[in-house]
Amino acid sequence: MSWGGTAERGRRRGRGTYPVVVLLATALVAGCADTRQSPDAPSFEPMETATPSSTGGNPPLAAPTPTAPATPSASPSRKPTTPPPTTGNHRYVFPVQTGNVSYHPTHSGYPATDIFANCGSPVVAVTAGRILEVSRVDNYSKSGPQGPNNGGKAVSLLGDDGVRYYGSHLTNVAAGINAGVRVRAGQQVGTVGKTGNANNVCHLHFGISPPCKKTADWWIRRGVVWPAPFLDGWRKKRNTSPVAKVKDWHADKGCPKAP
């Protein structure tokens, strides 16, 4: 609807209709405010115990493409959307604790983020929760299956917020970090490395996903929701939560089978 045309005709006729139309438009717009509420937190069931298994990782990086922002279920070649600064009851911290760190907003093949830092930099739990899987042995082989062992040495965590967090290419896993162990936000779980299919570059592959099978589902565990917008918030000490994004993806996709 164009309010401008009516106002213009009013001025031409000298009938003083312009102020009345503007006031009417303002009242109608104010009465159409969006009253939708944010989605509820996910209903993922937390895991009490788990068993270790091999982990997955990421293919080589691809440069960001200048396309429009994508929803969590859109093509991974598009840029991630920026979430609202949601602050809940859970504390979040940036996963690599060093000053010399950078990361890409996009990732090749599927939603994830590679966080670049010096090998040996501390990797920490981004939130409180329970360890799901640990890989202390680098079983990756260029001649072997690509996917299950791409992550090399790795750790996955089921946060108390119901979201699974995954970090791989570690130099080592910290002592005492085993499947079923509880960790607090900021607790060290390993160090940045270049194990697995890391292309000989020191970095942490970081993925966010719903728990699904909780163990061994490397094609989901490696990442299904863009982490970069949440990393941006955590780096600024904000408790920006991925819960809603993960819940939406899970409601839309479920838990897909291995590719």
Whose CA is closest to 167, among 104, 113, 128, 248? 113
The series of mean pLDDT values per 10 residues for the chain, 259 residues long, is: 42 42 37 38 37 40 40 44 58 96 92 98 98 97 92 98 98 98 98 97 98 97 97 96 98 95
Q: What is the pLDDT of residue 232?
A: 97
How many residues does this entry show for the chain?
259
Q: Are 222 and 167 a contacting pair, CB within 8 Å?
A: no
CATH superfamily for 101-253 is Glucose Permease (Domain IIA) (2.70.70.10)
Q: Measure the N-to-C terminal CA separation of the chain; round to a whole number of Å.
A: 48
CA 52 – CA 116 distance, rounded (Å): 26
**How big is the chain by its Cα radius of gyration, in Å?**
23
Q: Are 77 and 163 a contacting pair, CB within 8 Å?
A: no
CA 111 – CA 37 distance, rounded (Å): 26
Q: What is the pLDDT of residue 106?
A: 87
pTM of the predicted model as reported, rounded to 2 decimal places: 0.68
Kind plus residue range of the DSSP H or E element containing 167: strand 164-168
Whose CA is closest to 54, among 144, 128, 152? 152
Q: What is the pLDDT of residue 2?
A: 40
CA 229 – CA 210 distance, rounded (Å): 17
Indicate the domain borders of the chain.
1-32, 101-253
Q: What is the pLDDT of residue 247?
A: 98
∠ CA 235-154-184, nearest 5°, is 50
Q: Which amino acid is at 150?
A: N
